[in-house]
């Protein structure tokens, strides 16, 4: 091919379209990523291939990963190193590349001895239809949690804007996971962090009981399970755990997106309605700041969110 015949557009593929993610259980469910710029660069383009499909596949129980890059033509020496770019974000000694049979054998073997965490880590249970789910929370240094997190953390990059990997050597990070009790499939996960709340150095130094803020960092329900109520149940499990933990003063969320704000508003409002809080909010006029502060402390909800909730309750009362 002469240089004048070369058409770069024929050799350029959108990485969001080329990457196909699959969760394999009884059936395989395939979906596309929302973002690939952390892996393939801001333009989200891959150069040097035709008919490119990148399969990134996970067993839906163990999340043992498998990768296979397929294409009809490649420009030797010029094409982007897809495998190299992806492997930087996947657990190197764990992922199986190309050899599908080896991957199936590996996850089937792992499934035989696959166990949930002990009950001491359980923070919630819920049912959706006939299915029952259990929610666990454990420190990132836990062996099972650490390995599992290394397998699933790429989903944060692919589905949450501006997400980056957490420092999994920092013991303050914890992972919250929801599992289907029967199938053992993990339906979603949340990274959470406890950090110091300084209320004034003197007060802090004299206080034997340390106080923390509980931060939700990355919150994700895997696409096949979205829109069924898992997000709301996961959030409630975390909220209830921290509400009952006297060392936690409030729950904060790092960079919530619109979908998360929506989920949080609905779940917080349902909780406040059950607590009969709506009755104590005036129908109109100014709400006293001192009263709001007292209520915020009681419910451990941060100022921005609590003011939003009060506004929504007032709107609802006047509707």
User: Which residues in this chain contact ligand ACO in the complex, by CB under 6 A?
Assistant: 159-160, 216, 218-221, 226-232, 253-254, 256-257, 259-260, 262-263
Q: What minimum distance in Å lies between the beta carbon of 54 and ligand ACO?
A: 20
Q: 251, 214 in Cβ contact below 8 A?
A: yes
Between 100 and 261, whose beta carbon lies closer to ligand ACO? 261
Question: Counting runs of H as helices and runs of E as strands, what totals does the chain give?
Answer: 11, 15
Q: Residue 13: beta bridge partners?
A: 46
Q: 294, 265 in Cβ contact below 8 A?
A: no
CA atoms within 13 A on the CB side of 165: 17
- Give the SS3 label for residue 159: helix
Backbone angles phi, psi at 295, to 5 degrees: -70, -40
Cα(75)–Cα(17) distance, rounded to whole angstroms? 20
Q: What minimum distance in Å lies between the beta carbon of 154 and ligand ACO?
A: 13
Q: What minimum distance in Å lies between the beta carbon of 64 and ligand ACO?
A: 21
Which of 168, 176, 184 is CA-nearest to residue 107? 184
Between 134 and 221, whose beta carbon lies closer to ligand ACO? 221
Work out the burial of residue 222: count CB atoms within 10 Å of its CB; fewer than 13 is exposed, 13-18 middle, 19 or more buried. Answer: buried
Between 103 and 219, whose beta carbon lies closer to ligand ACO? 219
Between 52 and 135, whose beta carbon lies closer to ligand ACO? 135
- Give the SS3 label for residue 146: helix
Which among 254, 258, 270, 289 is annotated as catalytic? 254
Q: Cβ-closest residue to ligand ACO? A: 231
Between 50 and 257, whose beta carbon lies closer to ligand ACO? 257
Cα(58)–Cα(68) distance, rounded to whole angstroms? 12
Q: 79, 47 in Cβ contact below 8 A?
A: yes
Whether 254 sits among the annotated catalytic residues: the reply is: yes
Residues with active-site annotation: 254
């Amino acid at each position: 091919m002469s240089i004048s015949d070369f058409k770069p557009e024929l050799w350029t593929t959108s990485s969001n379209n080329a990457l196909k993610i699959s969760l394999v259980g009884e059936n395989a469910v395939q979906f596309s990523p929302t973002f690939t710029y952390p892996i393939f660069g801001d333009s989200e383009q891959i150069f040097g291939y035709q008919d490119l499909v990148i399969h990134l596949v996970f067993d839906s129980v163990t999340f043992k990963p498998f990768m296979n890059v397929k294409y009809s033509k490649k420009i030797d020496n010029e094409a982007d190193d897809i495998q190299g770019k992806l492997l930087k974000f996947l657990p190197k000694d764990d992922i199986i590349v190309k050899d599908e049979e080896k991957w199936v054998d590996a996850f089937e073997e792992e499934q035989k001895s696959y166990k949930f965490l002990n009950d001491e880590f359980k923070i919630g249970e819920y049912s959706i239809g006939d299915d029952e789910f259990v929610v666990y929370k454990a420190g990132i240094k836990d062996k099972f949690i650490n390995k599992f997190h290394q397998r699933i953390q790429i989903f944060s990059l692919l589905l949450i804007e501006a997400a980056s990997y957490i420092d999994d050597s920092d013991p303050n990070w914890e992972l919250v996971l929801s599992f289907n009790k029967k199938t053992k499939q993990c339906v979603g996960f949340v990274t959470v962090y406890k950090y110091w709340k300084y209320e004034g150095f003197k007060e802090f130094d004299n206080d034997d009981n340390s106080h923390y803020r509980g931060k939700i960092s990355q919150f994700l329900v895997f696409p096949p399970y979205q829109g069924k109520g898992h997000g709301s149940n996961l959030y409630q499990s975390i909220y209830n755990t921290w509400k009952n933990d006297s060392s936690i003063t409030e729950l904060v969320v790092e960079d919530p997106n619109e979908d998360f704000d929506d989920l949080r508003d609905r779940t917080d409002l349902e909780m406040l309605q059950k607590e009969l809080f709506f009755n104590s909010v005036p129908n109109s006029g100014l709400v006293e700041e001192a009263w709001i502060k007292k209520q915020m402390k009681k419910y451990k909800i941060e100022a921005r969110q609590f003011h939003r909730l009060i506004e929504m309750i007032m709107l609802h009362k006047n509707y």
